Homo-oligomer: A and B are copies of this chain.
Amino acid sequence: MVVVLKPQTSREQMLVLAENLKKLGVNVAITEGVTGYVLGILGDTSKIDQERVELFPEVEKVMRVQEPYKKANRKFHPNDTIVDICGRQIGGNKLAIIAGPCSVETPEQITSVANSVKNSGAGLLRGGAFKPRTSPYAFQGLEDEGLELLKVARANTGLPIVTEIMSPKYVEIFEEAVDVVQVGARNMQNFDLLKEVGKMSKPILLKRGLANTIEEWLMSAEYIMASGNENVILCERGIRTYETYTRNTLDISAIPAIKKLSHLPIIVDPSHAAGRREMVLPLSLAAIAAGADGLIVEVHNDPANAKCDGPQSLTPEQFQDLMNRIKPIAESVGREL
């Protein structure tokens, strides 16, 4: 942490401040520039609240040198984390493809989609039982009944299931029913929920918030990990920008960024990023080429009658085509499908 003092600070004031900073359990190195003093704070600054330091009246600004996350930080855990889900792995050499409908609707629908995505090579089944909808008047998911249908689909296909949790009150039921617990973009900074899923034994798929920085995203992973659950899978799903042609802007650079900053696996959701079916294929290919560990893709057996997100869902045939096209890209970046 580097602390820049105001130009008019006297040597005496600076020395008093340095002593105060040392009381926070760190060492302080003093350097004198042309426009004033600059203090280097040495030691473990993760315990120091930047805001507290900014409050000393002599301080002009404070700049962090270290990242504020530890458990999620590759510096302290150089090896890739590989998350195991019922024997399937996310983060290793083999790509993880999660596919399924936006929301679980009927036994026939979820079983039909599950079978077809399995046949195309998907390794996990997604499907929403509890749905975050912008409008209180929109379909909110089948809720508990949806979870039951997902379990039936799992029993029929052997595919582990991934579904979204929206409230701490469902932790127990998800712990029992689900294989991967998704925290949605709108809940990325629902800190009470993060703490609760951090106590679960199941891996957590943590979507990036619409307006959250990569650092904030890793801090939310840190919340989960600090509560005891180190099996976190990150999912880039587009961020909010001024561009309106796409629903969100897929931040493809987040893939190499996360690979550098963290050891956690990262997958991409091309369906929500674009909000347009015809973009799912090119964005999927781009994500794999850029180094993503997998994809989560919306597939529906009858998109025109889907209860949500129809415009961005692939048909089973389109999904099969997507898998065929991913294969050579995966191989050319040294990954297996």
Q: Name A residues whose Cβ lies closer than 8 Å to a Cβ of B.
A: 2, 4, 7, 29, 31-35, 38, 40-44, 46-47, 49, 51-52, 54-57, 61, 63, 65-66, 68, 75, 132-139, 166-169, 186-187, 189-195, 209-211, 213-216, 219, 222-223, 226-227, 239-246, 249-253, 255-257, 260, 273-274, 278-279, 282-283, 285-291, 303-306, 308-311, 325, 328-329, 331-333
- Residues in B whose Cβ lies below 8 Å from that of A186: 189-191
Q: Which residue of B lies closest to A214 (CB)?
A: B245
> In the complex where A132-B191, A137-B226, A253-B273 touch, is A40 in contact with B51 (Cβ < 8 A)?
no
8 nearest A-B residue pairs (beta carbon): A211-B211, A29-B31, A328-B332, A289-B289, A286-B286, A167-B192, A285-B289, A31-B40
- State the CA gap A55–B52 with chains docked (Å): 33
A242–B242 CB distance below 8 A: yes
- State the CA gap A321–B269 with chains docked (Å): 29
Chain A binding surface, main DSSP class: mixed
A-B contact pairs, 27 of them (CB 8 A): A29-B31, A47-B137, A51-B309, A55-B304, A134-B189, A135-B219, A135-B222, A136-B222, A136-B223, A136-B227, A166-B190, A166-B191, A169-B192, A186-B191, A209-B211, A211-B211, A239-B242, A245-B257, A249-B249, A252-B252, A252-B283, A252-B286, A253-B279, A282-B289, A285-B289, A285-B333, A289-B329
The listed residue (B63, B167, B223) touching A63 by CB distance below 8 A is B63
Residue with the greatest number of chain B CB neighbours at <10 A, chosen from A136, A138, A209, A288: A136
- State the CA gap A22–B134 with chains docked (Å): 25
- Residues in B whose Cβ lies below 8 Å from that of A42: 31-34
> In the complex where A34-B43, A243-B214 touch, is A286 in contact with B278 (Cβ < 8 A)?
no
Q: Which residue of B lies closest to A169 (CB)?
A: B168
- State the CA gap A229–B7 with chains docked (Å): 28
Report A194 CB to chain B, min CB distance, Å.
8
A255–B241 CB distance below 8 A: no
- State the CA gap A306–B54 with chains docked (Å): 11
- Residues in B whose Cβ lies below 8 Å from that of A65: 2, 4, 33, 35, 38, 61
A138–B49 CB distance below 8 A: yes
How many of these chains are in the complex?
4
The listed residue (B38, B251, B286) touching A40 by CB distance below 8 A is B38
B311–A55 CB distance below 8 A: yes
- Residues in B whose Cβ lies below 8 Å from that of A190: 166, 186-187, 190
- State the CA gap A312–B244 with chains docked (Å): 23
- State the CA gap A47–B137 with chains docked (Å): 7
